[in-house]
């Protein structure tokens, strides 16, 4: 299933699943925290809209890259925490190396052309 | 794969998962609100978007569409009923036809391993026969490694049980027949290949279940009793099962072991003479054997047979292998007939669909308001289109269900009325279901697509789609009507026309001398005596001999060369009086002298083809190494091809060596019913071992004609249904056009237009499509009827009366269908119409 993510808030297309996987790599988070983490880590450049985050999360869930478990939020509310699966870890590795290659290639073109 | 499972898991738990998603997003919102953001989107919409990732949105939409479609159809019960009826007819006719084909050609026989059963027939580029000699059968059976078994059936004329007046059908079979099919006995036992292959054992017989019930009252004590068949004592050993499935659909009532054939038919050489091909051969392919390897082996064996019997095996002869595990072994011409029926029934479906398409288009205008509202509140074209397609599909499925039920009922009735094997069931199997499903989809596509496209684009008022539908309906009904017209004419022709020979008062008496081992001299003596005694019988007018009697068990045809024309002829050997007996006029020349050589008499059609400008008498016809001189021309007589008006005959004088194969023809002055018992007693006097087959040509002829009559009746019925459908469709469309243009018509009349002009204006849009449909339909029918030519009893496929009648009926119905609703335009209340709105 092709992912169709519109570039929004400076987010390059197709990057969101990879970013979500990356932030989940260091531990399970709930939806809002994922958005916050990406926002903070990108020095507030990338804003993840609700309307983009949840469809993407559902897609990743269906792919089996993450699973969701119930937990308690910092505000004491019952909420689902998303956790990376072994498949998700593999996928992250593959996407990162692919991304590195592509950015490297783009950099090369930009530098020499 | 695991992703698919996860998706299905999401589908099953979608309620819970949706609630969880909602809770996630609510939490997100709470947190965002704390952070000071307040611009949220529409939660419902967002959730819907998120759910799309699960990939089940289409299912939800389909559910919605179906619920909506059900409501829409329920709200217009009149339209729905009409549409379902039209579809049920269109689909039902197709399903019935396919079910029939399925039963005959696709369903496997309920026997052991039906897929490996094959029909084996002799073929060569020049010759073909469906029978082999018993010796060849044994040879193939002994030597073929690719066949695990070879079965044989020797068909014989009906035989007499005890002193019955009515003879009973009978066959001799190889003893492995029942065991290879895995048939259990209803009572007693059936033949056993290890016990019943000896000619000298006491004679045994197996009876059919039906005969056992009818003739022997279903008493189980019949097993073990001795009865007499053709005056020979024989012990009943068993009864075949009630729903017995036999090979090739042949179901005689008496089954006898082939090894004992000489006991019943005294003096017969059928089993020993390798020149006589009279056994139908069936085989069972060994496990893992392909038809190709079997064919190769059989070819090698045929070549070996030729070395042993150079005369009996043809040049380039091979054994043709056909799948045999069905009710019928399909021959090419059967496929042609099946294809013809398929085309006709599909035409019905086309008429039904075009009809319904027109109705849907007309309805679309009344639904304009509703569709407009839906578009206004945000439904996209695609969504509306999908909704309309769902409606069509729902209609189509209801129609198909009704059609399936109709097909079952029709076949049930048909099977009960015809004498069909008991195992045949009209219950739809998976093939019929699949077929119905495909037809349903195709129908929905055909009648629903064009209206749905037009409606979704909000072009309801365009006339072109309606015009195409009218043209299609007219064309399809035109084809159906013309074919029906031709068939009715053909039946009429068959019933009331002369086949070229007298059949009302003629009897054929076949003593089967050859099968009883008569030598030519003995046969001649017997035939002479029988003929002279018949001649001296009061009421008998003329007696003669023929090798291939009219409507007999075998026909023969070949192509011959006459002055450069290749002509397909039906050959026959006859005695000089034959033309007189049969009432065939000798137009030119003379008849034969008895046993005359190297002369022929040809039919008028032959002479016309070969020597259109010359006197045929005295012309020479070269046939291989013999050359014959034409001494006379006889009237056309379709002796061996009653159905074929183009049949051409060539007669030779019967030679002494032909005598064992001759049949006696006798014509009488009045009704011939008195003659059979007399002929029988004369024959019994001459040789009591013989049981001549005595048949009245009148009966045979009517049997043949009744088949065509039934076909014509069915096709006419179908044709009339199609025309009625088309008529109803056109009434609907014209009524709709009138109502759509009421205002325009009123204005025209108010401004002084003549009513006829107004009528013309309303109907003009249908004139072109109707004309176009008529032309296309007539052309198609003309092309299609060339296929029909051979089965039409001597009617020309360009029979102008048939065409004119069909087109006339169609035009009349169309005119009526157009004028009835158009009359409404005249009765308009002008003031009221113009004040409206």
pLDDT score at A7: 42
Look-up of token digits 């450069």: B564
Residue B171: which of B160, B159, B188 has the closest Cα?
B159
Per-residue model confidence as pLDDT tens digits over A57-109? 888 888 888 888 888 888 888 888 898 888 888 888 888 888 888 888 988 89
pLDDT band at B119, cuts 50/70/90?
very high
Helix (H) or strand (E) holding B121: strand B117-123
Rounded to the nearest angstrom, the minimum Cα separation between A112 and chain B is: 41
The ipTM is 0.78
The whole-angstrom separation of Cα B85 and Cα B657 is: 65
Span B443-459, average pLDDT: 81
The answer to whether residue B57 neighbours chain A at the CB level (below 8 Å) is no
Which of B53, B56, B57 to substitute to test the interface with A, most A CBs within 10 Å? B53
From chain B, the residues in CB contact with A32 under 8 A are: 27-28, 31-32
Q: Residue B55 and residue A50: Cβ atoms within 8 Å?
A: no
B407-424, pLDDT tens digit by residue?
899 888 888 877 778 888
Ordered alpha helix ranges (H), B420-463: 430-456
Query: Is residue B568 a contact partner of residue B610, using CB atoms and an 8 Å limit?
Result: no
Which residues in A have their CB inside 8 Å of a CB on B? 1, 30-32, 35, 50-51, 53-59, 61-64, 68, 73, 75, 77-80
Quickly list H helices, B118-184: 134-143, 177-181
CA distance B548 to B544: 12
Q: What is the DSSP letter of A68?
A: E
The answer to whether residue B49 neighbours chain A at the CB level (below 8 Å) is yes
What helix, strand, coil percent values describe chain A, rounded to 5?
55, 15, 30
Report whether B210 contacts B253 (CB < 8 A): yes
Q: Kindly list the residues from chain A whose CB atom is less than 8 angstroms away from the CB atom of residue B7.
A: 62
Whether pLDDT at B528 is above 70: yes
Distance in Å, alpha carbon of B21 to nearest chain A alpha carbon: 8
Domain boundaries, chain B: 2-55, 114-326, 333-496+704-835, 506-689
Contact list in A for residue B28 (CB cut-off 8 A) is 31-32, 35, 50, 53-54
Entry field: residues in chain B: 837
Of B580, B681, B599, give the one whose Cα is nearest residue B165: B681
CA–CA min distance A43, chain B (Å): 17
Element (H, E) at B116: none
Sequence-distant contacts of B330-337: CB under 8 A, at least 24 apart: B330/B104, B330/B105, B334/B105, B336/B787, B337/B791
Position B509 scores a pLDDT of 92
Domains annotated on chain A, with CATH? 15-112 (1.10.10.10)
CB contact residues (below 8 A), chain B span 26-45, against chain A: 27-32, 40-41
Q: Which residues of B touch A54 (CB under 8 A)?
A: 21, 24-25, 28, 46-47, 49-50
Q: Name which of B571, B567, B569 is nearest B653 in CA terms.
A: B571
Please give, rounded to a whole number of angstroms, the shortest distance from the CA of A72 to a CA of chain B: 11
In DSSP notation, B257-308 reads EGGGHHHHSTT--TTT-TT---EEEEEEEPTT--HHHHHHHHHHHHHHHHHH
Predicted confidence at residue B791, as pLDDT, reads: 58
C-alpha dihedral sign at B105, B106, B109, B110: negative
Asked if B50's CB is within 8 angstroms of A57's CB, the reply is yes
What's residue B621's pLDDT? 85
Residue of A nearest to B4 (CA): A62
Q: Does the pLDDT of residue B254 top 90, yes or no?
A: yes
pLDDT at B787: 67
* All residues at 6 or more sequence positions from B361 whose CB lies less than 8 Å from its CB, including other chains: B450, B451, B454, B460, B465, B466, B469
Cα separation, B578 vs B247, whole angstroms: 38
Inspect the interface and report whether the beta carbons of A80 and B52 lie closer than 8 Å.
Answer: no
C-alpha torsion angle, residues B479, B481, B485, B488 (rounded to 10): 120
Give strand pairing partners of B255.
Answer: B171, B206
Q: Which alpha helices (H) appear in B158-220, and where do they start and end?
A: 177-181, 209-216
CB contacts of B50 in chain A (<8 Å) are 54-55, 57-58
B30·A75 Cβ contact <8 A: yes
**Average pLDDT for chain B:** 84
Mean pLDDT computed over B43-67: 80
Is there a contact between B134 and B258 (Cβ–Cβ < 8 Å)? Answer: yes
* Chain B residues with beta carbon closer than 8 angstroms to that of A53: 28
pLDDT at A6: 41
């Amino acid at each position: 299933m092709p992912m169709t993510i519109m570039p929004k808030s400076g987010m390059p297309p197709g990057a969101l699943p990879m970013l979500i996987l990356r932030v989940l790599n260091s531990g399970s988070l709930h939806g809002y925290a994922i958005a916050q983490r990406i926002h903070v880590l990108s020095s507030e450049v990338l804003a993840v809209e609700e309307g983009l985050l949840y469809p993407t999360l559902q897609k990743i869930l269906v792919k089996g890259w993450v699973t969701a478990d119930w937990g308690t939020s910092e505000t004491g509310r019952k909420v689902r925490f998303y956790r990376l699966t072994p498949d998700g870890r593999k996928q992250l590795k593959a996407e990162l190396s692919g991304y590195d290659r592509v950015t490297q290639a783009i950099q090369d073109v930009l530098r020499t052309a | 794969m695991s992703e698919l499972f996860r998706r299905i898991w999401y589908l099953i738990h979608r309620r819970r998962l949706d609630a969880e998603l909602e809770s996630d997003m609510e939490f997100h919102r709470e947190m965002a609100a704390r952070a000071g953001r307040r611009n949220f989107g529409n939660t419902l919409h967002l959730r819907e978007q998120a759910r799309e990732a699960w990939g089940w949105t289409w299912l939800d939409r389909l559910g919605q569409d179906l619920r909506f479609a059900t409501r829409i159809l329920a709200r217009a019960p009149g339209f729905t009923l009409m549409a379902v009826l039209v579809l049920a007819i269109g689909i039902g006719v197709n399903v019935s036809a396919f079910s029939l084909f399925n039963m005959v050609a696709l369903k496997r026989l309920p026997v052991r391993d039906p897929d490996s059963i094959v029909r084996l027939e002799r073929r060569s580029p020049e010759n073909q026969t469906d029978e082999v000699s018993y010796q060849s059968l044994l040879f193939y059976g002994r030597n073929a490694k690719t066949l695990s078994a070879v079965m044989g059936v020797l068909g014989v004329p009906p035989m007499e049980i005890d002193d019955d007046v009515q003879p009973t059908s009978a066959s001799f079979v190889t003893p492995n027949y029942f065991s290879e099919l895995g048939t259990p006995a209803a009572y007693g036992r059936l033949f056993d290949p290890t016990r019943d292959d000896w000619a000298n054992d006491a004679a045994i017989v197996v009876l059919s279940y039906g005969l056992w019930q009818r003739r022997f009252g279903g008493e189980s004590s019949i097993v073990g009793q001795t009865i007499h068949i053709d005056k020979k004592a024989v012990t009943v050993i068993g009864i075949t099962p009630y729903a017995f499935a036999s090979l090739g659909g042949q179901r005689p009532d008496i089954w006898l072991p082939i090894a004992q054939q000489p006991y019943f038919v005294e003096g017969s050489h059928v089993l020993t003479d390798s020149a006589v091909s009279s056994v139908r051969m069936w085989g069972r392919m060994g496990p893992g054997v392909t038809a190709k390897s079997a064919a190769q082996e059989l070819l090698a064996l045929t070549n070996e047979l030729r070395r042993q019997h150079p005369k009996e095996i043809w040049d380039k002869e091979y054994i043709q292998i056909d799948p045999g595990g069905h009710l019928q072994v399909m021959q090419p011409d059967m496929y042609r007939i099946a294809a013809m029926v398929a085309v006709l029934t599909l035409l019905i479906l086309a008429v039904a669909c075009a009809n319904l398409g027109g109705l849907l288009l007309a309805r679309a205008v009344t639904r304009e308001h509703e569709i407009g509202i839906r578009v206004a509140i945000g439904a996209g074209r695609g969504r509306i289109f999908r909704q309309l397609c769902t409606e069509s599909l729902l209609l189509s499925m209801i129609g198909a269900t009704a059609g399936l039920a109709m097909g079952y009922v029709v076949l049930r009735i048909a099977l009960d009325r015809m004498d069909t094997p008991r195992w045949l069931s009209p219950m739809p199997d998976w093939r019929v279901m699949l077929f119905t499903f495909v037809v349903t989809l195709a129908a929905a596509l055909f009648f629903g697509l064009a209206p749905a496209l037009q409606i979704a684009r909000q072009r309801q008022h365009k006339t072109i789609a309606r015009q195409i539908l009218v043209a299609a309906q007219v064309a399809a009904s035109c084809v159906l009507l013309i074919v029906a017209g031709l068939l009715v004419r053909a039946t009429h022709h068959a019933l009331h026309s002369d086949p070229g020979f007298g059949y009302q008062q003629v009897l054929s008496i076949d003593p089967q001398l050859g099968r009883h081992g008569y030598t030519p001299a003995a046969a001649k003596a017997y035939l002479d005596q029988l003929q002279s005694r018949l001649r001296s019988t009061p009421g008998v007018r003329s007696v003669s001999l023929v090798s291939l009697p009219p409507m007999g068990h075998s026909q023969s045809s070949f192509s011959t060369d006459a002055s450069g024309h290749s002509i397909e002829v039906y050959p026959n050997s006859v005695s000089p009086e034959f033309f007189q007996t049969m009432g065939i006029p000798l137009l030119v020349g003379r008849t034969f002298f008895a046993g005359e050589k190297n002369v022929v008499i040809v039919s008028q059609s032959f002479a016309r083809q070969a020597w259109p400008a010359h006197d045929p008498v005295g012309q020479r016809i070269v046939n291989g190494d013999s050359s014959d001189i034409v001494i006379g021309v006889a009237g056309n007589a379709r002796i061996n091809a009653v159905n074929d008006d183009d049949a051409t005959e060539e007669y030779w004088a019967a030679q002494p060596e032909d005598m064992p194969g001759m049949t006696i023809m006798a014509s009488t002055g009045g009704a011939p019913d008195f003659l059979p018992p007399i002929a029988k007693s004369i024959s019994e006097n001459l040789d009591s071992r013989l049981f001549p087959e005595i048949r009245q040509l009148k009966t045979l002829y009517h049997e043949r004609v009744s088949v065509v009559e039934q076909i014509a009746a069915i096709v006419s019925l179908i044709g009339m249904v199609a025309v009625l459908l088309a008529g109803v469709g056109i009434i609907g469309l014209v009524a709709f056009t009138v109502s759509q243009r009421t205002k325009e018509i009123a204005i025209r009349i108010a401004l002084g237009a003549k009513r006829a002009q107004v009528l013309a204006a309303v109907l003009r849009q249908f004139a072109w499509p109707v004309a176009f449909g008529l032309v296309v339909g007539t052309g198609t029918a003309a092309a299609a009827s060339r296929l029909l030519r051979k089965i039409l009893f001597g009617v020309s496929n360009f029979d102008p009366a048939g065409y004119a009648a069909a087109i006339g009926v169609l035009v009349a119905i169309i005119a009526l269908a157009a004028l009835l609703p158009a009359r409404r335009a005249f009765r308009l209340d002008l003031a009221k119409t113009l004040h409206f709105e």
